[in-house]
Structure 1
Amino acid sequence: MSYRLFPLILVLLLAACSTQPSVSNAPVILPDSFSETGQQPVSDTWWKSFDDQNLNQLVRRALDENLSLQAAYQRLLQARAVAERQEATLYPSVDASGGAERQEGPNNTDVNLFSVGLSASYEVDLWGRVQSLADADQFRASATLADYQAAAITLSGEIANTWFQLLAQRAQSDLAQRQLDTNRNVLTIIETRFGVGLSSSADVLRQRQLVAASVDRINETNAQIGVLENQLAVLVGQSPGRVQLPDGDALPTLPELPKTGIPAELVQRRPDLQQAWWLIQAADRELAAAISNRFPRFSIDVSLSSQSRGSGDLFYNWLLALAGNLVMPVVDGGERRAEVRRSQALREERVREYGQAVLTAIQEVEDALIREQEQRRRLENLATRIQLADATYGSCVTAT
Structure 2
Amino acid sequence: MPEEWWTSFEDPALNALVDSALTSNLDLAATWQQFQAARAIVRRQSSFLLPQIDASTRSGISRPQPDFAGGENFQLGLTAAYEVDLWGRIQSGIEAEEFRARASFFDYQAAAMSLSAEISITWYQLLTARNQLELVNQQIQTNEDIMRLIRARFTGGQVRAVDILRQEQLLESTRNQKIFYETDIALLEHQLAVLLGHPPQNELGLREENLPELPPLPETGLPLELIRRRPDVQQAYHLVLAADRDMAQAIRSKYPRLSLSLAGQTRSNSYNNLFREWAYTLGTDLVAPLLYWGRLRAEVDRTEAIKNQLLYQYGQVVLIAFQEVEDALIRERKQLERIEVLERQLDLAKKTNGQLRNEFLNGLTEYLDVLLSLDQEQQLQRELIEARQVQLEIRISLYRALAGDFETERAVAP
Q: Same fold (TM over 0.5)?
A: yes
Equivalent residues of 2:65, 2:71 under 8 A apart: no
Whether 1:62 aligns to 2:28 is no
- Cα drift, residue 395 of structure 1: 8.8
1:53 alignment partner in structure 2: 12
Distance 2:19 2:119 in 1: 10
Whether 1:187 aligns to 2:147 is yes
Q: SS state of the match for residue 313, structure 1?
A: coil
2:292 alignment partner in structure 1: 332
Please give the per-residue CA displacement for 1:100-148, whole angstroms capped at 9, x wherever unaligned: 2222234799622222221111100111111101111111111111111
Provide structure 2 residue ranges, at least 5 long, that are not aligned to the other structure: 363-414
Q: SS state of the match for residue 8, structure 2?
A: helix
- Cα drift, residue 56 of structure 1: 1.6
1:105 alignment partner in structure 2: 64
Q: Which stretch shifts more, 52-61 or 341-350? A: 52-61
- Cα drift, residue 241 of structure 1: 2.3
Query: Which one of 171, 175, 187 corresponds to residue 227 of structure 1?
Result: 187
1:159 alignment partner in structure 2: 119
Provide structure 1 residue ranges, at least 5 long, that are not aligned to the other structure: 1-40
2:107 alignment partner in structure 1: 147
Distance 2:140 2:65 in 1: 109
- Cα drift, residue 393 of structure 1: 8.2
1:344 alignment partner in structure 2: 304
The residue type paired with residue 29 of structure 2 is: Q
Q: Which stretch shifts more, 229-238 or 148-157? A: 229-238
- Cα drift, residue 91 of structure 1: 0.9
Please give the per-residue CA displacement for 1:238-263, whole angstroms capped at 9, x wherever unaligned: 22222324021411122111221111
Please give the per-residue CA displacement for 1:140-176, whole angstroms capped at 9, x wherever unaligned: 1111111111111111111100110110111011000
1:88 alignment partner in structure 2: 47
- Cα drift, residue 385 of structure 1: 4.6
- 5 Å-filtered alignment, 1:123-138, equals 123-138=83-98
Equivalent residues of 1:168, 1:249 under 8 A apart: no
Please give the per-residue CA displacement for 1:161-204, whole angstroms capped at 9, x wherever unaligned: 01101101110110000000010011001101111222211221
Equivalent residues of 1:140, 1:278 under 8 A apart: yes
- Cα drift, residue 361 of structure 1: 0.5
1:30 alignment partner in structure 2: none
Q: Which stretch shifts more, 90-99 or 358-367? A: 90-99
Whether 1:357 aligns to 2:314 is no
Instruction: Specify which structure has the bigger relative contact order, considering alpha-carbon pairs within 8 angstroms and separated by 6 or more residues.
Output: 1
- Cα drift, residue 222 of structure 1: 1.0
Query: Which one of 243, 251, 264 corresponds to residue 291 of structure 1?
Result: 251
Q: SS state of the match for residue 62, structure 1?
A: helix
- 5 Å-filtered alignment, 1:1-400, equals 41=1, 43-106=2-65, 111-385=71-345
Please give the per-residue CA displacement for 1:66-105, whole angstroms capped at 9, x wherever unaligned: 1111111121111111111111111111112222222223
Equivalent residues of 2:39, 2:98 under 8 A apart: yes
RMSD of the alignment, in Å? Answer: 2.3
The residue type paired with residue 101 of structure 1 is: G
Distance 2:76 2:67 in 1: 27
Distance 2:170 2:289 in 1: 86
Q: Which stretch shifts more, 374-383 or 337-346? A: 374-383
Distance 1:185 1:388 in 2: 22
